[in-house]
Amino acid sequence: MAETEPREGRLAAGLPAVAAGAVYGWAHWCFAGPAPPPTAVAWVGAVVLLVAACAGYVVAVGGSGSVFGGLLLAVGLLLTVAAADQTASRAESATCVVREVERRLQSSSGEGAPPAKTVYRLALDCPGGYPDELKDDRAVAEAGQEVRVAYDPRRRASPALEGTASPWRAVVWAVLLLAVSTVIAGRRGARDPERPAPDGRRPR
Protein backbone atom coordinates (compact mmCIF):
# COMPACT_ATOMS: atom_id res chain seq x y z
CA MET A 1 0.00 0.00 0.00
CA ALA A 2 2.74 2.47 0.93
CA GLU A 3 4.45 1.90 -2.41
CA THR A 4 1.35 2.11 -4.56
CA GLU A 5 0.02 5.36 -3.05
CA PRO A 6 2.98 7.54 -4.12
CA ARG A 7 2.75 5.99 -7.58
CA GLU A 8 -0.98 6.75 -7.76
CA GLY A 9 -0.24 10.27 -6.52
CA ARG A 10 2.26 10.81 -9.32
CA LEU A 11 -0.25 9.54 -11.89
CA ALA A 12 -2.94 11.88 -10.54
CA ALA A 13 -0.50 14.81 -10.54
CA GLY A 14 0.29 14.18 -14.20
CA LEU A 15 -3.37 14.23 -15.22
CA PRO A 16 -3.74 18.06 -15.60
CA ALA A 17 -0.77 18.25 -17.98
CA VAL A 18 -2.00 15.31 -20.04
CA ALA A 19 -5.53 16.74 -20.16
CA ALA A 20 -4.25 20.19 -21.18
CA GLY A 21 -2.17 18.65 -23.96
CA ALA A 22 -5.13 16.65 -25.27
CA VAL A 23 -7.54 19.60 -25.10
CA TYR A 24 -5.06 21.98 -26.76
CA GLY A 25 -4.32 19.46 -29.51
CA TRP A 26 -8.02 18.96 -30.20
CA ALA A 27 -8.78 22.70 -30.14
CA HIS A 28 -5.80 23.54 -32.37
CA TRP A 29 -6.95 20.95 -34.91
CA CYS A 30 -10.50 22.34 -34.83
CA PHE A 31 -9.37 25.97 -35.17
CA ALA A 32 -6.37 25.65 -37.48
CA GLY A 33 -6.10 22.12 -38.83
CA PRO A 34 -6.16 21.50 -42.60
CA ALA A 35 -9.15 19.13 -42.33
CA PRO A 36 -11.02 19.97 -39.11
CA PRO A 37 -14.18 18.17 -37.95
CA PRO A 38 -17.63 19.77 -38.35
CA THR A 39 -18.49 22.40 -35.75
CA ALA A 40 -20.93 20.12 -33.90
CA VAL A 41 -18.34 17.35 -33.69
CA ALA A 42 -15.70 19.83 -32.53
CA TRP A 43 -17.91 21.04 -29.66
CA VAL A 44 -18.95 17.52 -28.65
CA GLY A 45 -15.33 16.38 -28.67
CA ALA A 46 -14.26 19.33 -26.51
CA VAL A 47 -17.05 18.71 -23.99
CA VAL A 48 -16.23 14.99 -23.80
CA LEU A 49 -12.55 15.71 -23.18
CA LEU A 50 -13.35 18.32 -20.54
CA VAL A 51 -15.86 16.13 -18.66
CA ALA A 52 -13.63 13.05 -18.87
CA ALA A 53 -10.61 14.96 -17.58
CA CYS A 54 -12.48 16.47 -14.62
CA ALA A 55 -14.24 13.23 -13.73
CA GLY A 56 -10.96 11.32 -13.93
CA TYR A 57 -9.30 13.94 -11.74
CA VAL A 58 -11.98 13.75 -9.04
CA VAL A 59 -11.84 9.94 -8.99
CA ALA A 60 -8.03 9.80 -9.01
CA VAL A 61 -7.48 12.48 -6.38
CA GLY A 62 -10.39 11.79 -4.04
CA GLY A 63 -11.36 13.73 -0.96
CA SER A 64 -12.66 17.27 -0.62
CA GLY A 65 -9.60 18.69 -2.39
CA SER A 66 -10.55 16.88 -5.58
CA VAL A 67 -13.64 19.07 -6.08
CA PHE A 68 -11.70 22.32 -5.77
CA GLY A 69 -8.85 20.95 -7.88
CA GLY A 70 -11.33 19.69 -10.46
CA LEU A 71 -12.89 23.15 -10.71
CA LEU A 72 -9.49 24.74 -11.26
CA LEU A 73 -8.72 22.06 -13.85
CA ALA A 74 -11.97 22.80 -15.71
CA VAL A 75 -11.30 26.55 -15.84
CA GLY A 76 -7.68 25.91 -16.85
CA LEU A 77 -8.80 23.68 -19.73
CA LEU A 78 -11.33 26.29 -20.91
CA LEU A 79 -8.52 28.84 -20.94
CA THR A 80 -6.42 26.35 -22.90
CA VAL A 81 -9.15 26.32 -25.56
CA ALA A 82 -9.15 30.13 -25.51
CA ALA A 83 -5.38 30.16 -26.04
CA ALA A 84 -5.75 27.82 -29.03
CA ASP A 85 -8.42 30.12 -30.45
CA GLN A 86 -6.18 33.18 -30.07
CA THR A 87 -3.26 31.48 -31.84
CA ALA A 88 -5.40 30.53 -34.85
CA SER A 89 -4.84 32.45 -38.06
CA ARG A 90 -7.14 35.36 -38.93
CA ALA A 91 -6.05 36.00 -42.49
CA GLU A 92 -8.69 38.55 -43.49
CA SER A 93 -9.72 41.92 -42.07
CA ALA A 94 -12.62 44.27 -42.58
CA THR A 95 -13.76 47.73 -41.51
CA CYS A 96 -17.07 47.36 -39.70
CA VAL A 97 -19.60 49.70 -38.11
CA VAL A 98 -20.64 49.02 -34.53
CA ARG A 99 -24.42 48.70 -34.48
CA GLU A 100 -24.89 47.98 -30.78
CA VAL A 101 -22.82 47.40 -27.64
CA GLU A 102 -23.90 44.98 -24.91
CA ARG A 103 -22.19 44.74 -21.53
CA ARG A 104 -22.28 41.61 -19.38
CA LEU A 105 -20.59 40.90 -16.06
CA GLN A 106 -18.76 37.58 -16.13
CA SER A 107 -18.43 36.35 -12.54
CA SER A 108 -15.41 34.55 -11.15
CA SER A 109 -15.47 30.74 -10.88
CA GLY A 110 -14.13 30.81 -7.32
CA GLU A 111 -10.97 31.32 -5.34
CA GLY A 112 -7.86 30.97 -7.49
CA ALA A 113 -9.80 31.45 -10.75
CA PRO A 114 -9.60 34.58 -12.93
CA PRO A 115 -11.40 37.54 -11.29
CA ALA A 116 -14.81 38.80 -12.37
CA LYS A 117 -14.77 41.06 -15.43
CA THR A 118 -17.07 42.88 -17.81
CA VAL A 119 -17.38 41.36 -21.28
CA TYR A 120 -18.42 43.59 -24.18
CA ARG A 121 -20.32 42.23 -27.17
CA LEU A 122 -20.31 44.48 -30.22
CA ALA A 123 -22.94 43.82 -32.87
CA LEU A 124 -21.33 44.65 -36.23
CA ASP A 125 -22.33 45.63 -39.74
CA CYS A 126 -19.52 44.37 -41.98
CA PRO A 127 -19.17 44.09 -45.77
CA GLY A 128 -20.56 40.73 -46.79
CA GLY A 129 -22.32 40.26 -43.44
CA TYR A 130 -19.43 38.59 -41.63
CA PRO A 131 -18.24 38.95 -38.96
CA ASP A 132 -21.46 40.02 -37.27
CA GLU A 133 -20.18 40.38 -33.71
CA LEU A 134 -17.02 40.98 -31.71
CA LYS A 135 -16.42 40.10 -28.05
CA ASP A 136 -13.79 41.81 -25.94
CA ASP A 137 -13.06 42.59 -22.31
CA ARG A 138 -12.63 46.27 -23.17
CA ALA A 139 -14.98 48.91 -24.51
CA VAL A 140 -13.14 49.22 -27.82
CA ALA A 141 -15.83 51.33 -29.53
CA GLU A 142 -19.29 52.81 -29.13
CA ALA A 143 -22.35 52.41 -31.33
CA GLY A 144 -21.89 54.15 -34.68
CA GLN A 145 -18.09 53.99 -34.65
CA GLU A 146 -15.93 51.97 -37.03
CA VAL A 147 -13.56 49.19 -35.98
CA ARG A 148 -11.04 47.14 -37.91
CA VAL A 149 -11.70 43.45 -37.34
CA ALA A 150 -9.44 40.51 -38.19
CA TYR A 151 -11.26 37.26 -38.89
CA ASP A 152 -10.89 33.72 -40.19
CA PRO A 153 -12.75 33.42 -43.53
CA ARG A 154 -13.35 29.74 -42.70
CA ARG A 155 -15.25 30.97 -39.60
CA ARG A 156 -13.51 28.62 -37.19
CA ALA A 157 -11.66 31.14 -35.00
CA SER A 158 -13.59 33.95 -33.32
CA PRO A 159 -13.11 37.47 -34.79
CA ALA A 160 -10.76 39.84 -32.96
CA LEU A 161 -9.88 43.51 -33.08
CA GLU A 162 -7.09 43.80 -35.62
CA GLY A 163 -3.66 43.58 -34.02
CA THR A 164 -4.90 42.51 -30.58
CA ALA A 165 -5.25 38.71 -30.78
CA SER A 166 -2.79 37.33 -28.27
CA PRO A 167 -2.86 34.02 -26.35
CA TRP A 168 -0.55 35.10 -23.53
CA ARG A 169 -3.16 36.18 -21.00
CA ALA A 170 -5.06 32.92 -21.43
CA VAL A 171 -1.80 30.95 -21.33
CA VAL A 172 -0.64 32.55 -18.08
CA TRP A 173 -3.93 31.93 -16.30
CA ALA A 174 -4.17 28.39 -17.69
CA VAL A 175 -0.68 27.50 -16.51
CA LEU A 176 -1.36 28.98 -13.06
CA LEU A 177 -4.63 27.10 -12.54
CA LEU A 178 -3.29 23.84 -13.94
CA ALA A 179 -0.24 24.16 -11.67
CA VAL A 180 -2.44 24.55 -8.57
CA SER A 181 -4.59 21.56 -9.58
CA THR A 182 -1.38 19.58 -10.09
CA VAL A 183 -0.15 20.47 -6.59
CA ILE A 184 -3.49 19.35 -5.12
CA ALA A 185 -3.34 16.09 -7.06
CA GLY A 186 0.27 15.51 -6.03
CA ARG A 187 -0.79 15.36 -2.39
CA ARG A 188 -3.02 12.38 -3.08
CA GLY A 189 -2.19 9.42 -0.91
CA ALA A 190 -0.36 11.51 1.70
CA ARG A 191 -1.58 10.52 5.20
CA ASP A 192 -0.91 11.45 8.75
CA PRO A 193 1.68 8.93 10.00
CA GLU A 194 -0.62 8.11 12.91
CA ARG A 195 -3.71 7.66 10.75
CA PRO A 196 -4.65 4.04 9.96
CA ALA A 197 -4.60 2.93 6.34
CA PRO A 198 -7.87 1.81 4.65
CA ASP A 199 -7.16 -1.82 5.62
CA GLY A 200 -7.09 -0.85 9.29
CA ARG A 201 -3.35 -1.23 9.78
CA ARG A 202 -1.14 1.61 10.90
CA PRO A 203 1.89 2.54 8.78
CA ARG A 204 5.18 1.14 10.01
2-40 pLDDT, tens digit per residue, is: 445 555 556 778 889 999 999 999 998 888 777 888 888
pLDDT value of position 192: 37
Give the pLDDT mean for 56-69: 86
**Same domain for 173 and 83:** yes
Task: Count up the domains in the chain and report the number.
Answer: 2
Alpha-carbon span 16 to 24, nearest angstrom:
12
Residue 195 has pLDDT above 50, yes or no: no
Give the alpha-carbon dihedral of 109, 43, 132, 147, to 10 degrees.
60
Instruction: Give tens-digit pLDDT for 120-169.
Output: 899 999 998 999 999 888 888 899 999 999 998 888 888 988 877 677 88
Q: What is the DSSP letter of 162?
A: T
pLDDT value of position 194: 43
Domain that includes residue 15, residue range: 4-89+167-186
Give the orientation angle of helix 168-186 with respect to helix 39-61, to 10 degrees. Answer: 30
Tell me if 120 is assigned to some domain.
Answer: yes
Tell me if 192 is assigned to some domain.
Answer: no
Specify whether the backbone of 63 is left (phi greater than 0), alpha (psi in -120 to 50) or beta.
left
Tell me if 63 is assigned to some domain.
Answer: yes
pLDDT value of position 63: 79
